[in-house]
Amino acid sequence: MAKKRIGILTGGGDVPGLNSVIKTVTYRSSENDIEVIGLRRGWEALTHLNLEDSNSRRRYIMPLDRENTRTIDRRGGTVLHSSRTNPAKMAKLPDHLVDKDFPLSVSNKGIATNTWDVSKQVLANLSALGIEHLIAIGGDDTLGYAAKLNEIGVKIIAIPKTMDNDVHNTEYCIGFSTAITRASDAIQRQRTTVASHERIGIFRVFGRDAGFTALYTAYTTSIRCVVPEYKVNLDKLTRLLIEEKRANPSNYALVVLSEGAEWEGYQVREYGDPDAYGHRKKASVAESLADEIKRRTGEETMTSDLTYDLRSGDPDFVDKLVGLTFGNMAYDAMLEGQTGVMSALVKGCYELVPIPDPKLGPRKLDVATMYNTERYRPMYANKRGLPVFLQRVS
């Protein structure tokens, strides 16, 4: 009798803690005599895999066992690698699929686009590989396609990961704690340089649509922040920073910005081609703010882009703990035959929840309870009764 076989993949940006999930799923499977197939490079493994090509199999298929996962949880990143592939909207087909008939993708408004939906190839590859259950680890984009697979009959369990912490139905995503730890450490270190030169320090962190990373960094370092959910007044922000600088015995001030942060009359500039999910790179809002402060006040600034550094390196305790637990929850759900569910934290407790509806987009900060729009700082009052990460699921 053939062994039960499951698949696991990581999609989107890497974060610390992914390898802990991969290892625990593999170890648990070995105890239940279940084979684990690592699908390399995220959804690309199931769109670009050519089973008749040995090189393609080596590129996209990685059988996992206790030996090759024994030490992977000691480091960050993902041993399965990642990509930003969207099987529902493929702009270019791999060579071996060019002559096959795939439907054109349809936009949210029901209009055909110049991309293909290769989901039937994804289903064919899962079937050919004998994968009965799939565990997908990713952010809102990766999990959006996981929701689609669930709708068309694939047995799938999701695990949320993103340093932006912006996936719906959960209060926490793997990678968030390490990102805040790294950002806080970097800002505390750079205080000495900013203070030595008596400048305004401007720090940029990830957060395309949601300000969790910037706000929680500001919360733990006691500095100001600007988040995508609220457009600040530039004159007021500048005045607050100058006042803080002059009141500081060391004559400096600090502010942290989400990459998607904006102020009244300003829109973040985007450049380059959109990725598979329609996102373009954003120009540095930190540089734009520095230019404005210099132009308006003559004050010198220092800018620091902390983005990629925050998701590099080893996971902290929280991301190891949550990664292991989310992985074990997903594995238990798989053993029970469940599908369409995601490991999550709800009211501070571990729960299984539905995979979020991709139409919701990213989860946002609750400005009314989290962000002081007068001082451009996090709110510190009225936290009694909140879960550990301070905001309930939405």
Cα separation, 181 vs 227, in Å, equals 18
Q: What phi, psi does 158 have (nearest 5°)?
A: -110, 150
The closest of 361, 367, 362 to 226, measured between CA atoms, is: 367
And the tokens for 66?
């206790």
Cα separation, 186 vs 52, in Å, equals 48
Catalytic residue flag (residue 14): no
Cα separation, 8 vs 289, in Å, equals 42
Name 390's Cβ contacts closer than 8 Å, sequence gap at least 6: 370, 383
List, as one string, the DSSP characters of 145-198. Answer: HHHHHHHTT--EEEEEB-TT---TT-S--BTHHHHHHHHHHHHHHHHHHHHHTT
Q: Which of 140, 164, 166, 319 is catalytic?
A: 164
Nearest 5°: the CA angle 152, 156, 158 is: 125
Cα separation, 369 vs 47, in Å, equals 43
The CA–CA distances, whole Å, from 352 to 152, 339, 392 equal: 21, 11, 15
Taking the CA atoms of residue 304, residue 305, residue 310 and residue 314 in that order, the dihedral angle to the nearest 10 degrees is -70
The CA–CA distances, whole Å, from 176 to 28, 58, 149, 199, 322 equal: 25, 32, 26, 29, 10
Cα separation, 290 vs 241, in Å, equals 12
Do 115 and 278 form a contact (C-beta atoms < 8 A)? no
Residue with tokens 């992985």: 327
What are the residue numbers of the active site?
164
